[in-house]
Amino acid sequence: MIEKTKYRGFTMIEVMLVVLISSIALLATASVLADAHRGFNKMYIRVHGDIVNQAHEARVIFDRICRKSSRSYKDTSTGTDEVYVYYFSTDSNPTKATFSPMPDRFARFYTQGTDLKVDYGSLTRDVAADTVTRQDAETSITIANSVSNAIFLQPDTSTSVVQMILTLHDTELNQGLTVTCSSVRHN
């Protein structure tokens, strides 16, 4: 009589089943990791993207200029939304004998197309009439170039608050960002 030998091990079907289950688990894990990577990249671009940097720079420049200003003037005669702020230049060193309460510089915040710009210039003072006249802008700087809307507010001329509501839009990423900056004039 021939004796049957018993082989120990797995059948081919069992091995194929384990390989199939392992493949499904690996594909699911890879899909979750790839989705997490895409989400991280998207959030990184939102946090460190171009419009975020432009919004931050616009807020810092607006706040820095408005804080050192002594007067502000919202011009509605041009049909565009713009604001003028008058301030004392940092290079002037007035003494008590020559000090004038009238500022000698101005900054004009406005939009031109999709650009947010600021013009800097000098003021001519008429001490006798207690008035200032704006000269032509000496310097013009583009602060942001993805602006879809900019609103400048001066709630009341008796208050020292100047506000800017800036909406930026990145067409490449199809995302928008709105920044509100309220600045209190200190001078």
Q: Domain tally for the chain?
A: 1
Which residue range(s) make up the domain with 133? 50-91+100-184
Task: Concatenate the DSSP letters of all residues of 2-40 into one string.
Answer: PPPPPPPS--HHHHHHHHHHHHHHHHHHHHHHHHHHHHH
Helix axes 12-48, 50-67, angle to 10 degrees: 20
Residue 41 belongs to some domain of the structure: no
Q: Contacts for 81-84 with beta carbons within 8 Å, 24 or more apart?
A: 81/110, 81/111, 81/150, 81/151, 81/152, 82/108, 82/109, 82/110, 82/111, 82/152, 83/108, 83/109, 83/110, 83/152, 83/154, 83/162, 83/164, 84/108, 84/134
Residue 158 belongs to some domain of the structure: yes
Question: Mean pLDDT throughout 16-27?
Answer: 97
Residue 74 belongs to some domain of the structure: yes
Q: Is the pLDDT of residue 15 over 80?
A: yes
Question: Mean pLDDT throughout 14-28?
Answer: 96
Residue 162 belongs to some domain of the structure: yes
159 or 109, which is more confident? 109
Query: Tens of pLDDT along 100-141?
Result: 566 788 899 999 888 999 999 988 877 666 666 788 888 899
Residue 66 belongs to some domain of the structure: yes
Query: Tens of pLDDT along 40-95?
Result: 988 888 788 888 888 999 999 998 888 888 777 776 565 568 888 888 776 555 55
Phi, psi of 149 (to 5 degrees): -160, 140
Residue 84 belongs to some domain of the structure: yes
Residue 118 belongs to some domain of the structure: yes
pTM to 2 decimals? 0.69
Cα(159)–Cα(161) distance, integer angstroms: 6
Residue 37 belongs to some domain of the structure: no
